C-alpha cells in the first residue's frame, strides 16, 4: 500500500468505520472517516482524497448520490461497500461510477488488496502519447480523445480502454480483462459487462450500434480503432 495515501472512509456503522480506518492507518494511509454522506461531501469538495471507500446506505447523502457527485468532478478511485447482495445490486453500484464493489461482511485483507490495486492503477502512467485510428491517448496525463473530442473516463474505464486500444482486432474474453485489467484471478464477470457498457456510452457515436467496441457472443469483445459497421 502506498505510504501516505489519503483515503476517505464514509461508513455509518461505527464498528465497521473504526475497524477499517484503524486497519488502513496501520498500513500507512492517512484516513479521514465520516459517518454522514453530506458531511463527507463538504470535505471532499475542498480536497479530493487519493481513494474513497463508500458505504452505499448512508444518512444525509447516500453512497449512490455521493458517488455520482464525485464522478462529475473527479476520476478518483471509489470502492463501494454494501450489505446488499446479488449481481443486480453490484451492477447498480458500478453503473453509478464505482470502480470496485465489496459486499459485507468482508475480509480486511481483501479490502486492503483492493485498495492497493486501485491506488497502484491510479498512480501508474506511462510517459507516452500515441494515436490509434480515431483515438488519441496521452498516457502520461491519462487523457483520451475520440477525434477532436476529449472524453472523461474513470480510472477503471481508462485502464479498460487502454488495454483494448493496445490490443486492436483481437477477441478478448471477460476473464482475460478481469485478469489483465482488474488484476483478479477470479471475480464477477458482470464487472466487465458494466464497464464495457459505460465505455461504449462515451466512445461510440451510438452505443446501441457500436462502431468500435464489438461483442463477440460467447467469446468476449473485439476492439477496432477505425469506425466501422457493427457486427
Question: pLDDT, tens digit, for every residue of 179-196?
Answer: 888 877 666 788 899 999
Q: What is the pLDDT of residues 122-135, one digit of tens each?
A: 765 444 678 888 89
Residues with Cβ within 8 Å of residue 216, at least 6 apart in sequence: 171, 222
- pLDDT higher than 70, residue 47: yes
Percent of the chain predicted with pLDDT > 90? 43
In 76-87, which positions are buried (b, 16+ CB within 10 angstroms) versus exposed (e)? bbbbbbbeeeee
Q: pTM to 2 decimals?
A: 0.56
List the grid coordinates of 100.
470496485
Answer for the pair 85, 61: CB distance below 8 angstroms, yes or no.
no
Amino acid at each position: 500500500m502506498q505510504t501516505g495515501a489519503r483515503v476517505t472512509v464514509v461508513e455509518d456503522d461505527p464498528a465497521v468505520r473504526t475497524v477499517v480506518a484503524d486497519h488502513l492507518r496501520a498500513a500507512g494511509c492517512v484516513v479521514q472517516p465520516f459517518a454522514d454522506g453530506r458531511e463527507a461531501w463538504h470535505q471532499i469538495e475542498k480536497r479530493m482524497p487519493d481513494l474513497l471507500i463508500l458505504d452505499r446506505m448512508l444518512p444525509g447523502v447516500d453512497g449512490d448520490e455521493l458517488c455520482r457527485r464525485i464522478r462529475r468532478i473527479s476520476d478518483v478511485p471509489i470502492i463501494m461497500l454494501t450489505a446488499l447482495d446479488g449481481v443486480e445490486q453490484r451492477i447498480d453500484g458500478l453503473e453509478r461510477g464505482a470502480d470496485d464493489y465489496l459486499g459485507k461482511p468482508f475480509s480486511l485483507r481483501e479490502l486492503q488488496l483492493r485498495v492497493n490495486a486501485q491506488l497502484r492503477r491510479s498512480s501508474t502512467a506511462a510517459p507516452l502519447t500515441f494515436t490509434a485510428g480515431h483515438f488519441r491517448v496521452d498516457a502520461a496525463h491519462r487523457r483520451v480523445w475520440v477525434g477532436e473530442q476529449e472524453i472523461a473516463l474513470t480510472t477503471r474505464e481508462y485502464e479498460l480502454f487502454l488495454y483494448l486500444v493496445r490490443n486492436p482486432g483481437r477477441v478478448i474474453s471477460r476473464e482475460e480483462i478481469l485478469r489483465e485489467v482488474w488484476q483478479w484471478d477470479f471475480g464477477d464477470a458482470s464487472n466487465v459487462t458494466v464497464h464495457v457498457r459505460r465505455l461504449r456510452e462515451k466512445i461510440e457515436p451510438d452505443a446501441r450500434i457500436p462502431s468500435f467496441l464489438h461483442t463477440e457472443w460467447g467469446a468476449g469483445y473485439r476492439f477496432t480503432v477505425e469506425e466501422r459497421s457493427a457486427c
